[in-house]
Amino acid sequence: MLSCRVLDPVSEPVQQADFVVTDSAGRKVVGGETDPFGNVVATVPAGDYRLGVTAEGFTPFHRSLTLDQGDHVSLGDVFLQVAQPPQLPDPGDWEIEPAHTQIGFTARHIGMARIHGRFNTFAGAVRIADRMEDSAMHVVIDASSIDTNVRMRDDHLRSGDFLDVERYPTLEFYSERFVHRGGTRWGVTGALTLHGVSRTVTLDTQYLGLGSGLEGETRAACRATTELHREDFTLTWQTMLARGIAVVGPSIKIDMDIQIVPKS
């Protein structure tokens, strides 16, 4: 058995920190999260291991250790140090780069497995303000570009039963509310217009920092998720179910990997 207690610099427990124990070949043996008191407890066979602990806003912790048969190795209190937040994009006009961006979704097929899909055609602009919280973004998605890798299903999703792309050819998201939630976490709240209906939606966003492309251009990246409920956009799944239309369930999870570059 190996154990430790994960604390922040002021000795408060770090809850839900991720830990992983790997063997000498780097293969994961066991992993999990710290409990409400910051405790890590894992049972493994005798051998040489490496413990890694990571948490949002802190620098990772790593320690090698050896356990003999019947041993209990306690590392005691492990203190995580606050990490420097990544540099934010420079103020100015940026645009989403489609080649390195994906807008995907996951929906539950009623009574069956999950359906994974994406939108293949979209464009977006982001205006980064001097104060990040004052920034704004506008994204337009081509509704007909929906792609679940099954042509018949995609045609049905484009029909009047679902997206009705002839009447509502685009989905649009506009936000001018960026809220820092600590560390690299942000909430981006705005209006999503889908199927002719606008609703307030918050994207749970993790900012990944700045980087450079193959040609040396600066780019910024983030991941964002949210969950939509079809009835909020007048897509009444119960009515469809009664008609024998059982394609996707009442809630849809949206997952986005986004890269932006300065607008040329």
Residue 250 scores a pLDDT above 80: no
Average pLDDT over residues 140-160: 90
Distance CA 112, CA 121 (A): 28
250 versus 160: which is more confidently predicted? 160
211 versus 246: which is more confidently predicted? 211
Distance CA 20, CA 49 (A): 10
Q: What is the pLDDT of residue 111?
A: 54
Q: Helices marked H in the chain — which ranges?
A: 151-158, 237-242
Phi, psi (deg, nearest 5) at residue 187? -115, 125
Residue 146 scores a pLDDT above 90: yes
Which band of pLDDT confidence, cut at 50, 70 and 90, is reported for residue 110?
A: low
Q: What is the mean pLDDT of the chain?
A: 88
Average pLDDT over residues 78-103: 92
Residue 81 scores a pLDDT above 50: yes
Q: What is the pLDDT of residue 84?
A: 80
Q: What is the pLDDT of residue 245?
A: 46
Going from the N-terminus, what domains does the chain have, and what CATH number goes with each?
2-79 (2.60.40.10), 92-262 (2.40.128.110)
Q: Which residues pair with 23 in a beta bridge?
A: 49
Q: What is the pLDDT of residue 30?
A: 95
pTM recorded for the entire structure: 0.71
Structure token pair of residue 119: 């939108």
* Of the candidates 44, 46, 43, the residue with the CA atom closest to the CA atom of residue 69: 46
252 versus 93: which is more confidently predicted? 93
Distance CA 248, CA 67 (A): 49
What tens digit of pLDDT does each residue of 221-234 get?
Answer: 999 999 987 666 66
Residue 244 scores a pLDDT above 50: no
DSSP 158-220: HSTTTT-TTT--EEEEEEEEEEEEETTEEEEEEEEEETTEEEEEEEEEEEEEEEE-TTS-EEE
Please, are residues 158 and 165 in contact by the beta-carbon 8 Å criterion? yes
What tens digit of pLDDT does each residue of 13-69 get?
Answer: 999 999 999 998 889 999 999 999 999 999 999 999 999 999 988 899 999 999 998
